[in-house]
Structure 1
């Protein structure tokens, strides 16, 4: 893969994540303070909100291309070892997570394409997580698979918390090209953003584990269910604002990644 192609994939992917996370953060904050009359935000609602804006179809199309670039970049990292990872258990797990990340964002790209082609309603019935759990439970190994998915998501949440504490995500930046202010900004928004993502992922992983333990697919949940659960707690409005602010700042972190990420 040429250097120019790698740079294009990185820039397009992280630029798309900037749009998605910033808009998601604003929708979550808006829901918390009651300024938006809508259900708890989901990934699909972000795409619906985008397409409703002036030139929204064009904007969403660009986001879809960017998300596709990010999926390709993650797969490139996993299968072409662009980060020069070794054969240690830690490095192998990291490459597996690149594949998992590609799958997650591939599903998000699929949702965006559905909205782009006209599926604008949030709809009712089972959530995507519940549908997946219901399908898996029809297999003899389904409960184990659901539990494994939940365990992997929880493990991924701890990686997010580790990033928030250690700020080791700074290793991904070409620090020589960054000013002192840019490095400081990346450190701050990265810590806050990864912490917020850790909260979401540990809740989603717990939903899947609970679904496996109870053999009840309705216990599975994704982003929308996690945000709804937060809102139902004591001081849930403030907690939801905190998470929304964290998701927004993660979008800002992605903007810095699109500009300064090592390729």
Structure 2
């Protein structure tokens, strides 16, 4: 088979196949981002200056320094857009059979929110790929919080938003220790030892992600209580707080985020995509 035939065979031949390809690209892109983020945080835990900032945008920006960096950035941008498409597909087509009841609609709304969560990062990666530079959106959450605080009852809205984010973090922990996360991966082709390793990696990853989300939610609660937008914090501030607890604490969570990245890379290859 020629190289051209190989490339043509990889092109999706139907809308369903296209959506599946986009979903897998999305999982892979998220895996790369979290793996890099975990490595940067591990460097910070080890006292290395280059790991001082370990948020998603910093992780993406570091790709510029690698050979073929702009190509990698383009892959991240396209992959994240693919993930957004997949999440919207889950919501609109109800691929998980959640139904149209209150809880079902809430879960389908969450799919949309989960997808849009990566929209800013996709835009940032795309601009870096095309222009070689882009403004970071690290202050966007503080700017948004300042606008919310200008609304009637804005402080309560921030507090409520923080509690919701904390709840999502706790749900990540529930997924980790209930094993529900593993239903999205078909590792039946792997030997038992590798399946166990994949499972434990996922547990560590979802737990660490839950911890970080819980801290981001805590910052939102503090911003609501103090009516101060400056109290809002992102992943980077969460790492700063973990670092204040000691390098071991930061290192454990950082390793967990790297594990989450690895698990997402596994999911990209062995993903279970229902309803398509």
TM (normalized to structure 1)?
Answer: 0.91
CA distance in 1, matches of 2:272, 2:63: 29
**Contact kept? 1:24, 1:46, Cα under 8 Å:** yes
**Contact kept? 1:193, 1:248, Cα under 8 Å:** yes
CA distance in 2, matches of 1:175, 1:122: 37
**Contact kept? 1:48, 1:120, Cα under 8 Å:** no
**Contact kept? 2:34, 2:56, Cα under 8 Å:** no
Q: Which runs of 5+ in 2 are unaligned?
A: 1-13
**Contact kept? 2:27, 2:267, Cα under 8 Å:** yes
Partner of 1:81: 94
Greater mean alpha carbon deviation, residues 205-214 or residues 28-37: 28-37
Q: Which runs of 5+ in 1 are unaligned?
A: none
Give CA deviations for 1:223-257 in whole Å, capped at 9, x if unaligned: 01100011112xx2111111110010001110111
CA distance in 2, matches of 1:190, 1:142: 37
227, 246, 252: which is aligned to 2:256?
A: 246
61, 68, 72: which is aligned to 1:55?
A: 68
CA distance in 2, matches of 1:81, 1:59: 32
**Contact kept? 2:223, 2:229, Cα under 8 Å:** yes
The change in CA–CA distance for 1:179 and 1:87 in structure 2 (over 3 A counts) is: farther
- Rg (Cα) greater in structure: 2
Partner of 1:138: 150
The change in CA–CA distance for 1:79 and 1:178 in structure 2 (over 3 A counts) is: farther
Q: Give the RMSD, CA atoms, in angstroms.
A: 2.1
- Tell me: higher relative CO, structure 1 or 2? Use CA pairs within 8 A at least 6 residues apart: 1
What pairs up with 1:16-31 in 2 under 5 angstroms?
16-31=29-44
166, 180, 184: which is aligned to 1:168?
A: 180
Partner of 1:187: 199
65, 68, 75: which is aligned to 2:78?
A: 65
CA distance in 2, matches of 1:79, 1:65: 21
TM (normalized to structure 2)?
Answer: 0.86
Match of 1:212, SS state, is helix
Give CA deviations for 1:165-198 in whole Å, capped at 9, x if unaligned: 1111111123544443442122111100011001
Partner of 1:262: 272
